[in-house]
Every structure is written in C-alpha cells, then in structure tokens.
Amino acid sequence: MTVTRTVSLHRSAPAKPSPGAPCNGCGVCCAAETCPAGRLLFRQARGPCPALDWQDGAGHYRCGLVTNPGRYLRWLPRTWQGAAERLFRRWIAAGQGCDSEIEEVQAE
C-alpha cells in the first residue's frame, strides 16, 4: 500500500538526496515526520516538526533543536545549551547521512 502525503517546503530547498547520501538540508524528512526528540518535546508524531528551521542565507533547513535549543526550550539554562546541541545532534544522527525513505515528488 502506498501512502501519499503532501508537505510544503521552501521553494529554494535543495532536492532530497538518496538514502545514505550526506544530508543537504532539504527538509523532507522533518516536514513529513517528527523525530523521537520532537515527539517527546512537542507532543506530536507527524510533521512538520516545529523545530524545522529554514536558513535563508544558507538555502537549506536545519534542526532548531541542534542550532538553537534555547529557542525551543526556553527553560534551558544558557550554560546547558552546548550539551543540548550535542545531545540532539546525536538523537537525530546528524552527520550520518540521509535516512529518509520518503520519495520526493515536485509539484507542478
């Protein structure tokens, strides 16, 4: 059974890489599903993840829990933000390559 889901992404977002290829910040995975950390923190199972941040100057998406955890966890002391960044980076397997099996289809 094929499930079709539509997600909206920035028009300048890069195309989704093949599974296993380096992440390029396309945002497809986080727009479609919320990772385990996001499920716990935001209490939602489906995307788009509230921490999916578009980086205008860079032209890609990044996880806000990694790049700016204090924005999403306002109770987090500043001195703990570096530790939170490292924790979230590990939880989402940042740097391990694309693990999304979602097939991207461009809108016409």
- Domain presence at residue 8: no
- Domain presence at residue 103: no
- Domain presence at residue 11: no
Give the pLDDT score at 36. 87
Give the pLDDT score at 108. 57
Give the pLDDT score at 46. 78
DSSP notation for 56-104: TTTTEEEEHHHH-HHHH-TTS-GGGHHHHHHHHHHHTTTTS-----PPP
pLDDT string in tens for the chain (108-residue length): 666 777 889 999 999 999 889 999 999 989 988 888 899 999 988 778 999 999 999 999 999 999 999 899 989 898 998 999 998 988 888 878 898 887 766 665
Overall number of domains in the chain: 1
pTM of the predicted structure, to 2 decimals: 0.83
- Domain presence at residue 16: no
Q: Which domain holds residue 56?
A: 28-91
- Domain presence at residue 65: yes
